[in-house]
Structure 1
Amino acid sequence: MTSGDVSLETVTAAKAGDRKALEDVLAGLQDRIYSLAMRVLVNPDDAGEATQEILIQILTKLSTFRGESALSTWAYQIAVRHILNARKLRDRDLGLTFEMFATDLETGLVADPPAAPDQALLLNELRISCTMAMLLCLTLELRLAYVLGDVFEMDHAEASRILELTPAAYRKRLSRARAEVIAFTSQHCGLVSNQAKCSCPRRLPAALKSGRIRSGSYPNSAGASVDYAAAKQQIASVVDDLKTFKLQQAVPGQMCPEDIRGRLTRMLSHPL
């Protein structure tokens, strides 16, 4: 039997203080937690800091895990509580709105942009960075519901349990988040709508000038299995509201940074 991607035997050994088992628990959860933090917080520094704090909480609270759900579900509950309750994360929230985001996207568009040497890589980085950033326009509560439901594609029972909501309340929250994201992308994202003013090629010069995208640096798209052209084709192949779903699904999963893995592994050398 397994609990998430970690066997119940491993969890039992970890609860008893077995260091190798504790390392295996971390290995089974760290990418999941970092992916959640990145999709919700977007900023890599905030996501990394939150991930480390969440994983430490998971280790220190592991003795309370009773196996009534998958280990990953229990871990996501801890992660969600931390993200919702950490005042420093709330204080760093930009207060971004879809109206503000749309105005920014449509500022500095170039009708006939010159091609950069690494054009394909830059367009993919811009596509992914913009797709992630637009979720910051949702409230934190709506963002979490959207990420669990439409990005991670969790079933409603698991997602509502993680968010500690009734299934009906979760469905209502997800529906509202989904409607807001669809309304924005269908009007302002050139990958979703041919009528949108913004498109990645037209937006790229302004993104490079502002420093939001840098030639030779592709932090969000590194290792992506889908490039800009393929993503554009995939999104175009589906209809209506599925275009927004496909846009968000075309963002690659995020791996927990090695420095966080290393710090947590070293921490296990000392008693919790």
Structure 2
Amino acid sequence: MSDEEELVERAVGGDKAALEEVIHLLQDPLYRLALRMVWRPADAEDATQEILIRVVTRLASWRAEAKLLTWAYRIGVNYLLNLRRKTPQEASELSLEDFRDDLADGLATADYAGPEAALLAQEVRLSCTQAVLQCLGRGERVAFVLGEIFELSSTDAAWILDITPAAYRKRLERARQRIRAFMGSTCGIVNPQAFCRCARRVQKAVAIGRVAPGRPLLSAHAVSPSGRGVADAAAQLHRLHDAAAVLRAHPDYAAPQAKTDAVLALLRSGRFPLLE
């Protein structure tokens, strides 16, 4: 019996410490999945709470047919693909072509040099790469996130999506082609000849409320213990300049502890049938 199987067996058997360990093992990866799919941290927190409840209440059905996290991703992906709440990009049906036009509108001729210039440029980059993903349909978005952001194998990603590996690879390639074309023609990090520069989008982004001076959502986001922070994640941009690397260069965001505590409180409240 593997360590994961032993842990789950104890959790299903009523060991509260084991159950908490399962939740702490899964919470940050599931939060990062939710964040890449729904864009806003607050929405990702709510989604993560719902996913964790679904995972835990189905824990007895896990048969080690896949790693525990892979199995949890499958539950999370199913929830996120069927989420009724739409992101702003989805609600406005903003395409990558529309987003390119949006980025060009109001682009300054020089880098922003005001207070917190470096931090705000970092926040623009992180926010922009989140927004790029939202311009993909949910099916292509999750395929790209699993394959290019989380770097899962096509076998695991296909299992998560409940499709064949061949169908998954085809879906992923469509997403890759669209992202590469957009980033290559737009993003100055990927292509020095492209028009957009993070530091030249700061003023416009602040004006329309996409980033807030003094309240950075992503640059100051908590990271997992021993996880990479903003500086570590950004360092790879100096080594890699392809589209996937730019979208991947986010810190290892951590799920807020308050949401984890809320999940545990709900499970202990008796409102949910624990470990059906």
Map 1:55-204; keep pairs closer than 5 Å. 55-89=52-86, 93-94=90-91, 95-204=93-202
CA drift of 1:31 comes to 0.5
- Cα distance in 2, alignment partners of residues 87 and 216 from structure 1: 32
Residue segments in structure 1 that go unaligned for 5+ positions in a row: 237-242
User: What percentage of aligned pairs have identical amino acids?
Assistant: 41
Q: Which amino acid aligns with 1:234?
A: R
Other-structure match for 1:264: 263
Kindly tell me: are residues 42 and 2 of structure 1, through their superposed partners in 2, closer, same or farther at Cα, counting changes over 3 Å? farther
| TM-score (norm. length: structure 1) | 0.90
Other-structure match for 1:9: 6
Residue segments in structure 2 that go unaligned for 5+ positions in a row: 221-228
Q: Which amino acid aligns with 2:35?
A: M
Residue in structure 1 matching 2:203, options 192, 202, 205? 205
CA drift of 1:148 comes to 0.2
Is the CA contact (8 Å cut-off) linking 1:135 and 1:143 kept in structure 2? yes
The 10-residue stretch of structure 1 (8-17 or 83-92) with the greater mean CA deviation from structure 2: 83-92
CA drift of 1:91 comes to 9.8
Q: Which amino acid aligns with 1:56?
A: I
Map 1:18-33; keep pairs closer than 5 Å. 18-33=15-30
Kindly tell me: are residues 64 and 92 of structure 1, through their superposed partners in 2, closer, same or farther at Cα, counting changes over 3 Å? farther
Other-structure match for 1:254: 253
Q: Which amino acid aligns with 2:269?
A: H
CA drift of 1:93 comes to 3.0
- Cα distance in 1, alignment partners of residues 170 and 79 from structure 2: 23
| TM-score (norm. length: structure 2) | 0.89
Q: Which amino acid aligns with 1:87?
A: R
The 10-residue stretch of structure 1 (217-226 or 63-72) with the greater mean CA deviation from structure 2: 217-226
Other-structure match for 1:44: 41
Is the CA contact (8 Å cut-off) linking 1:19 and 1:268 kept in structure 2? no
- Cα distance in 2, alignment partners of residues 34 and 97 from structure 1: 25
- Cα distance in 2, alignment partners of residues 258 and 68 from structure 1: 29
Q: CA RMSD in A?
A: 1.9
- Cα distance in 2, alignment partners of residues 114 and 82 from structure 1: 40
Task: Count matched residues.
Answer: 262
CA drift of 1:227 comes to 7.1
Q: For residues 83-138 of structure 1, give each alpha carbon's deviation from its aligned partner in whole angstroms, at most 9, with x where no partner exists.
A: 11233348993222101111110111111244022111111111111111101111
Other-structure match for 1:239: none
Q: Which amino acid aligns with 1:52?
A: Q
